[in-house]
Structure 1
Amino acid sequence: MTVHAQSSFAQWHSKGRHASYVRARKSSGGVLDLLEVARPAGDMSRPALPDIVLVENMLGKGRLRGDLGGGRLDIATRKDTFTIVAPNFATTVINDEHHRLRSVAFPLAQWQDVLDDAADGRFSFDTSFVYGQVFDSPAIRSALRNLWAVCDDEGAPSRLLGRAAGCEILAELCRLGGAPFAPARGGLAPWAERRCLELMHARLSEDISLDELAAEARLSPYHFARMFKQSVGAPPRVYLTRLRVEKACELLEKTDIPITEIALDVGYSSNQVLARVFLKHMRMSPSDYRRAVRDPVRQTFLNIQGAVLAAADSKR
């Protein structure tokens, strides 16, 4: 591979004529970058950049010619399919139709240690991924849809979400490439589970990272995420969201703190973000919830609704 990296994938798209093609960008503290790009037909080659890039074709028309790091290709594009672009490789790409792409870029500096640990030292950027080939993956498509949906609700993905989603996607990419990650090692030790849950409660208002939680349990981020889910029954990000919604409910019920302050207290950047998250989990706005819990008649309805939602969640 050519090793003359210049900047990052996201930075390259933010400069010159390429910036006008970007329709959306979400970044999680340097952990990963999500970009949606709409480009006209023509040359979309770029210099060598230090990112693994997963590209999803949102339109699926036209023909693609060039080299993405796996040798020369000349293929018809298909909607909702994926391609991986090699890191530190100057691509040559010509697309004969206008196209819309969603890309997830994994900076090598953020992911090298995670990949090495997840593969028990057997990871290789040259052989673990299949670069340039068009493929389909329902698992990756689902992970990306969920990632973009959370970003639509909450803005830029948290560091916890970015690392957890990245581990999930890269694990599937390695499996498809014939270099699967090492299997999970069971659940967390009781002391590790207790300390991690205490840390999440104590730092509810912060953008706590998966790396920090993993360090508390003395594990790598990859193994921690899987072992946490086995122990607690939900991924770290899902569990943290649950804690934040529960705390918001408590503050709405027992205090007169403004909703804007409650949003900040439970780790959301604004009352609008809290409202979107709250509506998804509680099926009502924070204001409606506050009124309901202070009205005996509505409280009875709320208790019934909560029981129904809890039962539905337990079946998922």
Structure 2
Amino acid sequence: MSFQSPASFAQFHSQGRHASYVRSMRSPGGILDLLEVQRPAGDMSRPAVPDIVLMVDLSGCSRVKGDLGGGRFDLATRRGTLALAAPDFATTVINEDSHRLRSLAFPLAQWQSALDEAAEGRFSFETSCIYGRVFDSAALRSAFRNLWSLCEDEGAPSRLLARAAGCEIFAELCRMGGAPFAPAKGGLAPWAERRCLELMQARLSEDIGLDELAAEAQLSSFHFARMFKKSIGVPPRVHLTRLRIERACELLERTDLSVTEIALEVGYSSNQVLARVFQRLRQMSPTDYRRAVRDPSRVYPAS
């Protein structure tokens, strides 16, 4: 029986019987999709999709058989096991147990240039030793966990977060896959650093993209992300968060704007999002911060 292939990994999981397995899904404008899926035992095969899909097993499975594009396998998985499914390949997966997965799906059209840059133009799915395989990587588990945690705080990832996280993950995938990979040797030129920092400050309320910052520095997104961290000491998304919280503090101190108005002013979708990020970085709520700075004689415990 013939069928039309879905346009993306996320689309496949939002339709038919697989939709009932999805526990959460977040997507930042087609850059990457984050899904958590509770899969029952049985046949979980899917048609080909034009996405590179990185999965982490959250529970383990006593036996999984299939083919993700790198040859057939028959093995047990444990919690934290990673798997990478090749794009444009109809995967076969049969689980002996129900289990829970988190997946990152990268549309190949969005990420091909980053792969080429990471591997100096010599990337190939055919020669990569981890594509279509089940494997382990503490670095990738950590990147996955950090991205998911940020999304739990802030909702759907910003374009800056999505692109920067993807560049970090692809750099590690290329390194593990045997592609030539050169570490960043230097940071941004002083003029490029100044212009990018000014742009971030001027557009705090917007969903600024890594591509826009990279264009300001006349660099590709992949190289810009690495060189920015070399210069500033933290990734672009971390620096932007710091700028936003610093500006929020100024507004809480000097204005009578509501927390909701301040959240929108510094680029967050709601007062709840601002409160979560503020609490994480300042160990108190925005409201308690405002009270503390306006009446220093009173002590407010961390909320």
Both proteins in one fold, TM over 0.5:
yes
TM-score by length of 2: 0.95
Contact 2:65 2:72 (C-alpha < 8 Å) held by counterparts: yes
2:171 partner SS: helix
2:237 partner SS: helix
2:270 maps to amino acid:
S
Deviation at 1:85, TM superposition (A): 0.5
Match status 1:18 vs 2:38: no
Which residue pairs with 2:128 in the alignment?
Answer: 128
Deviation at 1:117, TM superposition (A): 2.0
Deviation at 1:129, TM superposition (A): 5.0
Deviation at 1:180, TM superposition (A): 4.1
What RMSD in Å do the two structures reach over aligned CA positions?
Answer: 1.6
Match status 1:7 vs 2:12: no
Which residue pairs with 1:48 in the alignment?
Answer: 48
1:289 maps to amino acid:
Y
Closer, same or farther: CA 5–117 of 1 in aligned 2, 3 Å? farther
2:26 partner SS: strand
Which residue pairs with 1:86 in the alignment?
Answer: 86
Deviation at 1:298, TM superposition (A): 4.4
Which residue pairs with 1:107 in the alignment?
Answer: 107
Contact 2:119 2:174 (C-alpha < 8 Å) held by counterparts: no
**What pairs up with 1:75-224 in 2 under 5 angstroms?**
75-128=75-128, 130-224=130-224
Contact 1:185 1:223 (C-alpha < 8 Å) held by counterparts: no
Contact 2:52 2:105 (C-alpha < 8 Å) held by counterparts: yes
Contact 2:52 2:86 (C-alpha < 8 Å) held by counterparts: yes
Give, in whole Å, the separation in 1 of the partners of 2:131 and 2:24.
25
Give, in whole Å, the separation in 2 of the partners of 1:62 and 1:51.
27
Which residue pairs with 1:238 in the alignment?
Answer: 238
Identity of aligned residues (%): 73
Please give the per-residue CA displacement for 1:97-143, whole angstroms capped at 9, x wherever unaligned: 11111111110011011111222211112223513332111111111
Contact 1:84 1:132 (C-alpha < 8 Å) held by counterparts: yes
Give, in whole Å, the separation in 1 of the partners of 2:259 and 2:6.
44
Give, in whole Å, the separation in 2 of the partners of 1:182 and 1:28.
29
1:140 maps to amino acid:
L
**Could you say which structure has the higher helix fraction?**
1
2:145 maps to amino acid:
R
Give, in whole Å, the separation in 2 of the partners of 1:219 and 1:119.
16
Give, in whole Å, the separation in 1 of the partners of 2:179 and 2:298.
55
Which residue pairs with 1:313 in the alignment?
Answer: none
TM-score by length of 1: 0.91
Please give the per-residue CA displacement for 1:244-292, whole angstroms capped at 9, x wherever unaligned: 0000000000000111000000000000000000000011000000000
1:62 partner SS: strand
Aligned residues: 299
Contact 1:73 1:132 (C-alpha < 8 Å) held by counterparts: no
Deviation at 1:62, TM superposition (A): 2.0
2:223 maps to amino acid:
H
Which residue pairs with 1:309 in the alignment?
Answer: none
Contact 1:187 1:227 (C-alpha < 8 Å) held by counterparts: yes
